[in-house]
Structure 1
Amino acid sequence: MRTPREKQLITKYWWFGGSGAMLMGSGLAVLLHGAKLKETNADPWFWVSTGGFALIFAGLSFIGDANRFRTLADVLRELDARGLK
């Protein structure tokens, strides 16, 4: 049975992981749009591509936080199983 703290960490894991995946996908789409703008010599291609990179790295950051929350939940479960809490 999961403790309330463990449930909270798992919930954060799913929210941050899902948000990170969504941000990475959106960033890739924006980055590809910027590449297409560059091919057609459109003026704002640089800023669109920069925004795409920012979204990708924000997604990576969210996924890293999700990994941290999952690790903390696993450590809590292990400590609980050993009775060291």
Structure 2
Amino acid sequence: MNDTMQTSREKKLLTKYWVFGGSGAMLLGSGLSVLLHGSKLKEVGADSWFWVSTGGFALIMSGLSFIGDANRFRTMVDVLRELDAREKAAH
């Protein structure tokens, strides 16, 4: 981060970045764990393996979506900073 003062809009976007990024990482990791558990259930012949694995896959996809949203928020902060720097340079 640079040493400039953050606007309230940047702070809100950065908060969303951290919340969505952290949540996405948690969902992705949990989904991988559940998916591997479903794989073990299939190996032992348990009937519930399909639904457990499907739930794990859904968690993985949700996590990736959250991480994508976090990336969007961070990009918006970078764009705001670039526009602010251009405006200051023009004056």
- TM-score over 0.5 (shorter chain): yes
Residue equivalent to 2:28: 24
Residue equivalent to 1:75: 79
Sequence identity, in percent?
A: 80
- Whole-angstrom distance in 2 between the partners of 1:7 and 1:37: 45
Count of residue correspondences: 84
> TM-score, normalised to structure 2's length?
0.90
The one-letter code of the counterpart of 2:56 is G
Question: 1:33 deviation in Å?
Answer: 0.3
- Whole-angstrom distance in 2 between the partners of 1:58 and 1:4: 28
4+ runs of 1 displaced by more than 4 Å?
none
Segments of 5+ residues of structure 1 without an aligned counterpart are none
The one-letter code of the counterpart of 1:21 is A
Segments of 5+ residues of structure 2 without an aligned counterpart are none
- Whole-angstrom distance in 1 between the partners of 2:54 and 2:42: 12
Which is higher, the Rg of structure 1 or of structure 2?
A: 2
CA RMSD between the two structures:
0.9
Say which of 4, 9, 13 aligns to 2:13. 9
